[in-house]
């Protein structure tokens, strides 16, 4: 056994017991580790395992890690705008681990069996969605976007009942914490003022310790969470990521992307893009994400009101002031990112109309979003015949704009190359490698993983994974819960 938790280093369990329930994972029949993240294990200082059986037993929940006191966390969540009592219904937190660099992370098993918060669910997860979370979260990390990580996927040997019988799996998720906006909603609405205060101070110490220096510590905390969320959603928008289910329980206060369900990357650029089969009204469409994040941070601010100021009206005024900043900050991060993506290395006042026109042009064409940034530099990358006029019209403006800045084409290309990925987990490729994995062939999954780990500089430019495939307009993702 090469992993054990230091009982002295466990911090969440020092919080009031209203915030969690101790609960062990339920055993599975015949665990086999099908994916193991060597890089992450190394980064975390988790030594390689000698015995595959041990590894599978530990990361399926069959064998308890020394020092672990497994628990399920309590939280509420606004799901599609409606408040619900949730909590970890199928995830179990094994403990907190300190990396050699001194970074504290939660190690959690997802799909580890029923918990006191399971409601009618079976507490289990199907292999397809767990491999999907592994793949997309690791791709996001390689893209430099804050995210929870994935350490392992273990097949359980059991079937789970969904629309059909599916092979079950347990994912090991690593996060800087699993404290969500919904955790604060729970503390504010279901527990006492003292529990809310303790959760808040704990979160500050764990994620934003600098706030302790501020005279208005709680407001400073709120501002930090707003800032990190604005940054995160800007990064999603720049890379074309659609989270798909931005409920308040799926928004971590650390600012990491969390809870990969029906997420996907856009191919062509259309703000109304929705992939999730349950998002009937497009609440979580690509273009709505900034507005929804703003809505979510307002729910977060609401849960802190009693700590912000004893006078409710005053607390509300302060919180509203903070929340209004969200869109401004989002916009600053986003425009900054777009400038770099387009090689506009010196900010100019008319950049924004130029960028708007670019996106508006893309939205009327079948041009691949990710590929479009490369097409500006490499005329060989094809633009569909019928879109050439629109493309060339915009590109001429872009060419003249570049001439107004004192940078060579090489300098521009180098910045653009460092921020525009060549490889993203394109939907068609994701489905293909997951399909093969479910038939027992892990090789395409492994090859794809190796590619998405180097999104900006794939070893082979002709990599098949870089090439857009024909877009399937009926493509939908499912939550897979």
In angstroms, the CA 293 to CA 252 distance is 11
The CB-of-377 to Mg ion minimum distance in angstroms stands at 39
Interface pick for ligand AMP out of 18, 43, 122, 158 (rule CB under 6 A):
122
Nearest to 25 by CA among 56, 55, 69: 69
Contacts of 18 (CB under 8 A, 6+ apart): 74, 187, 190, 191, 192, 195
Cβ-in-10-Å burial (0-12, 13-18, 19+) of 456 comes to middle
Q: How many residues bind Mg ion (CB under 5 A)?
A: 3
CA distances (Å), 148 to each of 176, 177, 258, in order?
7, 9, 6
**Count of Cβ atoms closer than 10 Å to residue 53 Cβ:** 14
The CB-of-97 to Mg ion minimum distance in angstroms stands at 22
Site membership for Mg ion, residue 257 (CB under 5 A): no
Q: How many residues bind ligand AMP (CB under 6 A)?
A: 17
Site membership for Mg ion, residue 368 (CB under 5 A): no
Which residue number, 11 or 118, has a Cβ lying nearer to ligand AMP? 118
Interface pick for ligand AMP out of 124, 228, 243, 374 (rule CB under 6 A):
124
The CB-of-322 to ligand AMP minimum distance in angstroms stands at 26
Q: Which does 123 bind (CB under 5 to 8 A by kind): Mg ion, ligand AMP, none?
A: ligand AMP
Through-space distance between the first and last CA atoms of the chain, rounded to whole angstroms: 31
Contacts of 396 (CB under 8 A, 6+ apart): none
Which residue number, 436 or 479, has a Cβ lying nearer to Mg ion? 479
Contacts of 439 (CB under 8 A, 6+ apart): none
| Residue tagged active-site, from 88, 249, 259, 267 | 249
Which stretch, 119-127, 132-140, 419-427, 437-445, contacts ligand AMP (CB under 6 A)? 119-127
Residue closest to Mg ion (Cβ): 259
Site membership for ligand AMP, residue 88 (CB under 6 A): yes
Q: Which does 154 bind (CB under 5 to 8 A by kind): Mg ion, ligand AMP, none?
A: none
Which stretch, 198-206, 236-244, 258-266, 279-287, contacts Mg ion (CB under 5 A)? 258-266
Q: Which does 290 bind (CB under 5 to 8 A by kind): Mg ion, ligand AMP, none?
A: none
429's tokens: 């490729």
The CB-of-273 to ligand AMP minimum distance in angstroms stands at 20
Which residue number, 249 or 267, has a Cβ lying nearer to Mg ion? 249
Window 103-142: contact mask with Mg ion (x via CB under 5 A): ----------------------------------------
Beta-bridged to residue 77, according to DSSP, are 84
Interface pick for ligand AMP out of 83, 345, 432, 479 (rule CB under 6 A):
479
Contacts of 218 (CB under 8 A, 6+ apart): 200, 211, 304, 307, 308
Site membership for Mg ion, residue 250 (CB under 5 A): yes
Q: Which does 267 bind (CB under 5 to 8 A by kind): Mg ion, ligand AMP, none?
A: none
Site membership for ligand AMP, residue 321 (CB under 6 A): no
Window 31-70: contact mask with ligand AMP (x via CB under 6 A): ----------------------------------------
Answer yes or no: 336 catalytic.
no
The CB-of-419 to ligand AMP minimum distance in angstroms stands at 30
Nearest to 59 by CA among 187, 156, 143, 126: 156
φ, ψ of residue 108 to 5 degrees: the values are -130, 140
Which residues, 233 to 272, sit near ligand AMP by CB under 6 A?
A: 245, 249-250, 259, 261
In angstroms, the CA 79 to CA 348 distance is 41
Q: Which does 343 bind (CB under 5 to 8 A by kind): ligand AMP, Mg ion, none?
A: none
Interface pick for ligand AMP out of 58, 86, 318, 449 (rule CB under 6 A):
86
For tokens 């791709």, what's the residue?
A: 139
- Which residues are at the interface with ligand AMP (CB under 6 A)? 86-90, 118, 121-124, 245, 249-250, 259, 261, 479, 481
Indicate which residues carry an active-site annotation.
249
Which residues of this chain interact with Mg ion, rule CB under 5 A?
249-250, 259
């Amino acid at each position: 056994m090469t992993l054990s938790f230091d009982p002295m280093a466990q911090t969440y369990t020092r919080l009031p017991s209203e915030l969690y329930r101790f609960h062990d994972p339920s055993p599975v029949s015949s665990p086999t580790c099908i994916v193991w993240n060597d890089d992450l294990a190394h980064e975390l200082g988790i030594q390689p395992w000698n015995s595959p059986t041990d590894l599978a037993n530990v990361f399926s929940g069959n064998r308890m890690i020394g020092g672990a006191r497994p628990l399920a966390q309590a939280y509420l969540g606004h799901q599609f705008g409606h408040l619900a009592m949730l909590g970890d219904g199928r995830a179990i937190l094994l403990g907190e681990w300190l990396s050699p660099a001194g970074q504290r992370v939660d190690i959690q098993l997802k799909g580890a069996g029923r918990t006191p918060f399971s409601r009618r669910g079976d507490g289990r997860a199907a292999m397809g969605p767990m491999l999907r979370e592994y793949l997309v979260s690791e791709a996001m990390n390689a893209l430099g976007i804050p995210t929870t990580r994935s350490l392992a996927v273990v097949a359980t040997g059991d079937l789970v009942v969904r629309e059909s019988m599916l092979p079950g799996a347990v994912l090991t998720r690593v996060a800087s914490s699993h404290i969500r906006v919904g955790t604060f909603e729970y503390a504010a609405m279901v527990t006492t003022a003292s529990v809310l205060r303790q959760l808040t101070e704990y979160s500050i110490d764990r994620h934003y310790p600098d706030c302790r220096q501020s005279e208005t510590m709680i407001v400073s905390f709120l501002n930090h969470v707003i800032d990190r969320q604005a940054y995160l959603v800007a990064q999603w928008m720049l890379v074309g990521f659609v989270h798909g289910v931005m409920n308040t329980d799926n928004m971590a206060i650390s600012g990491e992307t969390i809870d990969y369900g029906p997420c996907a990357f856009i191919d062509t650029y259309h703000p109304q893009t929705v992939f999730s089969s349950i998002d009937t009204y497009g609440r979580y469409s690509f273009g709505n994400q900034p507005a929804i994040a703003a809505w979510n941070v307002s729910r977060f601010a609401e849960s802190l009101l009693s700590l912000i100021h004893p006078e409710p009206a005053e607390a509300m005024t302060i919180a509203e002031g903070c929340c209004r900043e969200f869109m401004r900050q989002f916009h600053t991060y986003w425009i900054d990112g777009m400038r770099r993506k387009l090689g506009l290395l010196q900010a100019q006042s008319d950049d924004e109309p130029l960028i708007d026109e670019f996106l508006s042009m893309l939205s009327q064409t079948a041009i691949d979003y990710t590929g479009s940034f490369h097409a500006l530099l490499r005329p060989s990358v094809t633009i569909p015949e019928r879109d050439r006029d629109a493309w060339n019209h915009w590109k001429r403006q872009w060419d003249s704009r570049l001439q107004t800045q004192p940078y060579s084409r090489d300098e521009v290309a180098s910045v653009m190359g460092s921020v525009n990925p060549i490889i993203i987990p394109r939907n068609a490729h994701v489905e293909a490698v997951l399909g093969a994995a479910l038939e027992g062939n892990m090789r395409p999954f492994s090859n794809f993983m190796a590619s998405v780990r180097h999104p900006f500089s794939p070893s082979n430019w002709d990599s098949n994974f870089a090439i857009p495939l024909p877009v399937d307009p009926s493509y939908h993702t499912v939550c897979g819960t």
